[in-house]
Amino acid sequence: MKLDRKTFTTKLDGEDISIEVSGLAGQANAAVIGRHGNTVVLATVVMGKEDRPGDFFPLTVDYEERFYAAGKIIGSRFIRREGRPSDEATLSARLIDRTIRPLFDHKLRREVQVVVTVLSYDESRDPDVIGLLSASTALHISDIPWDGPVAGIQTIRKDENGEILYKSFLAGPEKYVNMIEFEGREVSESDALEAFTSAHAKVKELVAFQNKIRSEIGKEKASIPVPEYDPEFVKEIRAFLDNDLGNALREKRLDSLKKSLFEHISSQEAFAEQEKNIEPVFEEIVDEFVHTEALKHGRRVDGRALDEIRPLYGETGLFSLTHGSGLFIRGNTQVLAMTTLAAPSAEQLIETMETTGRKRFMLHYNFPNFSVGEVGRSRGPGRREIGHGALAAKALAAMLPKKEEFPYTIRIVAETLSSNGSSSMASTCAGCLSLMDAGVPIAKHVGGIAMGLMLNKDGSEYRILTDIQGPEDHYGDMDFKVAGTVDGITAIQMDVKIKGIDAKIFEEALERAKQARAQVIDVMKKTIPGSKSSVSVHAPKIVTLKVPKEKIGEIIGPGGKNINGLIAASLNKITIDIEEDGMVYVAGVEKELVDRAYESIKAMTREFKVGDIVNGKVVRILEFGAIVDLGGNRDGMIHVSELKEGFVKKVEDVVHLGDEVIAKVIRAEDGKIGLSLKNLA
């Protein structure tokens, strides 16, 4: 059987990118293999045969890392196969999902599944770029109704010193940008705009490439009927909602109004068979109302001005035993962040298809059911929680001190206590407060804000909203989160429900966000002006020293005897971490024990030189001299001839067992140290 391969090639930043269509995965609606260098992915798209019940579009996007792609066999000792997706894989799936989802007709009820499987990874080319391109091409050439294609561009800019200034991933269709991930070091709004425009120019080229492929091999799109509603039915719902919808939104009783609507329609015999359509029609009418209020009247559902931020509040030091805590409240959104400090050994070990290493800074975001007034089973973090935590971590990472300056492992847990819009940006603010409360010397306050958009149907008129809350997030067209300091941007994340935004809207939203961020940071500064001068008494104390690499073995000792002995001497109240470059970290809550171990290691690795003055205890008396303990399992010998001027008949005539002596080093070679008492002068 021949696979009948057809390969299409284009250039991205001077490198070949190719899409191959063949008989592989032939039972899917479409399948393509994408190649960028030696990074290769398989993208498949499948649509269900029948509509699913419900009032939402059932799209699933899966991103499958395969360890063989990077030539790895990882996992536990007993399980050597891929299991739950890594956080990185989850974020890649979200990135693709957030880009393609807005271009589906959300009245569609056919289940659609997109699966991107990484077959080969060359470590220098991020699979996200070719993964999104391949998923888009598969959708574009398939018979699945979709208003693509899209593409994404990753950009890395460095400063004059070669340090990364920002990293961005920007994606969308030909005319707009509909998804942004951005991480930087206090980047200016003008630099962010330049990243937007330059990346989108490359997106257009990749979109044109996909259009060429479709023109040659694309299938005719399937004609799938979407729900149409009886005009009289819609008119009846409008009439019922007409006088109370605005009040219900302002008074946060939309659910109550919806319940009354269901009761009203159920009592109407003429509409008895249309109850299943109440929910989607209700949602359309509310969406239309929220847009009209903002676009025509400049009104928001809660009565605020378009650029007005809800009341802000911050607090630190809420608990005496935790290392650091910060509470941040914006309107009805509340996040409590807790910072924990630990020794370098507490760093998270990362072993995924793309990464093998350690993570020093972690931010974990929790979103319990009670935060939105619901009941439900507790579960592990989902895609949303992982995504929100990653965004807040990006926002704060740029301001963290380097390990050489602050050698702690840092973990923040953001507990969402109440949510009504942008708990991720509240997590950024609360996380910053908790870091400062914990004594982490971060350079500046980092705050964040979520901006929204109301756009009319033809795109000719829009309003940008500052600090969006629940209904504006749900019914609005954009969720545009910007975090940073008063001097620049550290993170951006954007999702839309429309086709996308242009550079004009992006620029205006950035400027509005800058103004709002300054207000947020002003409240944070009043809460805590800066980082505390020292870490909590309950946090471990860490001392560091650099030793020659060849001395590492002496610290560890045969079978770990020396290092384990030091830890045991502290009753296991300290930890000792030694890195390959010879950096040693001694950590523990009790400073005295930490200092004692530090001095012992220092003594173990001391390089004795002729002329050094040392002190120690006489631990052995020999016929020809005395052995002095110099600490750190090191000793030196005072020959009888070096005890004093003149003849010494017996060693005990000068020194005795247990005496503390001060001596001079007169010989230091081959690990043997000779001492003298008579040559002290």
> Tell me: the pLDDT tens digits for 416-456?
999 998 899 999 999 999 999 999 999 899 999 999 999 99
Residue among 451, 450, 342, 360 nearest 403 (CA): 360
Residue with more model confidence, 606 or 546 = 546
Q: Are 43 and 116 in contact (CB under 8 A)?
A: yes
453, two tokens: 């958009």
Helix (H, G, I), strand (E, B) or coil at 55: coil
The neighbouring-strand residues paired with 266 are none
Distance CA 204, CA 231 (A): 40
Measure the CA–CA gap between 572 and 176, rounded to whole angstroms.
59
**Rounded (5°) CA angle 572-576-577:** 145
Q: From CA 132, how far away is CA 126, in angstroms rounded? A: 11
Q: Is residue 153 predicted with pLDDT exceeding 70? A: yes
Per-residue confidence (pLDDT) for residue 268, from 0 to 100: 83
Rg (CA), the chain: 33
Confidence of residue 669 (pLDDT cuts 50, 70, 90): confident
For residues 650 and 367, what is the distance between their CA atoms, to the nearest angstrom?
78
Place of tokens 């001299």: 625
* Cα-Cα end-to-end distance for the chain: 95
β-bridge partners, 26? none
Higher pLDDT, 512 or 609: 512
Q: What's 501's DSSP letter?
A: B
Phi and psi angles of residue 440, each rounded to the nearest 5 degrees, phi first? -75, 120
Q: Encoding tokens for residue 163? A: 């340090």
Q: Are 485 and 446 in contact (CB under 8 A)?
A: yes
41-99 confidence digits (pLDDT tens):
999 999 999 998 887 899 999 999 988 888 888 776 667 777 788 899 999 999 999 99
Residue 111 has pLDDT above 90, yes or no: yes
User: Length of the chain, please?
Assistant: 681
The pLDDT of residue 271 is 82
Look at residue 1 in the predicted model and tell me its pLDDT: 59
Q: Which CATH fold would you assign to the domain 6-217? A: Ribosomal Protein S5; domain 2 (3.30.230)
Task: Evaluate if residue 671 carries a pLDDT over 80.
Answer: no
Kindly report the backbone phi and psi dihedral angles of residue 395, in degrees, each rounded to the nearest multiple of 5, phi listed first: -60, -35
What is residue 440's predicted lDDT score, i.e. its pLDDT?
Answer: 97
Note the pLDDT of residue 78: 65
Is 613-676 CATH 2.40.50.140?
A: yes
Q: From CA 107, how far away is CA 104, in angstroms rounded?
A: 9
Tokens (6 digits) for 249: 């939104």
The larger pLDDT score, comparing residue 672 to residue 197, is at: 197
Residue 183 binned pLDDT confidence (cut-offs 50, 70, 90): very high
What type of residue sits at position 213?
Answer: I
d(CA 625, CA 642) in angstroms, rounded, equals 9
Q: How many whole angstroms separate alpha carbon 309 and alpha carbon 183? A: 24
The CATH number of 312-527, from 3.40.190.10, 3.40.50.720, 2.30.110.10, 3.30.230.70, is 3.30.230.70
- The percent of residues above 90 in pLDDT, for the chain, comes to 70
Which residues partner with 171 through β-bridges? 152, 179
Where does 218-368 have alpha helices with state H?
231-241, 245-250, 254-266, 278-297
- The pLDDT tens digits of the residues spanning 546-584 come to 988 888 988 898 899 889 999 998 989 999 999 988 899
DSSP assignment letter at 79: -
Q: What is the CATH number of domain 541-604?
A: 3.30.1370.10
**Closest C-alpha among 163, 142, 125, 122 to residue 44:** 142
What's the mean pLDDT in 392-413?
96
User: What's 23's DSSP letter?
Assistant: S
pLDDT band at residue 340 using 50, 70 and 90 as cut-offs: very high
Q: Give CA–CA dist 104/61, Å, rounded.
A: 13
Residue 456 makes CB contacts below 8 A (sequence gap 6+) with 291, 295, 462
**pLDDT tens digits along 612-648:** 898 899 999 998 999 999 887 788 999 999 898 888 8
pLDDT at 201: 96
Per-residue confidence band for 16, with pLDDT thresholds at 50, 70 and 90: very high
Q: How many CA atoms lie within 13 A of 349 on its CB side?
A: 4
Mean pLDDT (whole number) for 2-11: 92
pTM of the model: 0.89
Q: What is the mean pLDDT of the chain?
A: 92
User: Can you give the pLDDT at residue 681?
Assistant: 61
The rounded distance, in Å, linking the Cα atoms of 17 and 15 is 7
Contact 289, 245 (CB under 8 A): yes
The DSSP call for residue 84 is S
